[in-house]
Amino acid sequence: MRGLDGLLTQYGGQQQHQPENEKGEGQDQDQKADAFLPEDDPFNYTATNDPEAGFGFDICVECHDSAPFPSTAHLRAAEEHLAMMDVMWRERWDRTWAARKKSKKCDGESLSSSSSSMPPPPTPPRPPPHANAVIHLPFPSSPINLQATMAALMPVVRFLEKWVRPVPVPQRLK
């Protein structure tokens, strides 16, 4: 995983890439924190769900002949789990940003009044979860074409569409 500075650079934050010899202490701490994530951390995907290896999924639809359609309870639990992952990512981003600002103040760097009150940059997209946090939904591989099949299929399609093209989340009230 990239540290805070890597994410800021990649997603258009105000940080610019600095040469290796000019890196600050806070940047090294960010990289060290990311490099030593516990193996069961939900955002430590490098060993099990790395996009560079062709993975990087949040949802796995398991199709086989005798599988039932996902129930509303399945879909509700999956939606709550994915929403919780998004909240955890946002909180981690805010916490890391606040710690970085605090370390810069402690290091004696001069921060203008405008930059000290500046909110964190927009949260970058959430990385894929660890394989243990991927949602697995059952699905029949060849369902019979009936009216009841279509009635069972539409909630699944709406659920998948919501997570493929999410609705923008409004900013929190402060």
Pick from 162, 92, 97, 76: nearest CA to 127: 92
For 56-92, write each residue's pLDDT tens digit.
Answer: 888 999 999 989 999 999 999 999 999 999 899 888 8
For 19-38, write each residue's pLDDT tens digit.
Answer: 344 444 444 444 444 456 77
pLDDT score at 1:
47
Distance CA 24, CA 54 (A): 33
**Domain limits of the chain?**
56-105+125-165
The answer, yes or no, to whether residue 14 has pLDDT greater than 70, is no
Q: Would you state the torsion angle of the CA atoms of residues 16, 20, 23, 28, taken in this order, to the nearest 10 degrees?
A: 110
Q: Is the pTM of this model over 0.95?
A: no
* pLDDT average, residue stretch 1-13: 55
DSSP assignment of 79-94 equals: HHHHHHHHHHHHHHHH
Mean pLDDT of the chain: 76
Render the burial of 34-46: b for 16+ CB within 10 Å, e for the rest.
beeeeeeebbbbb
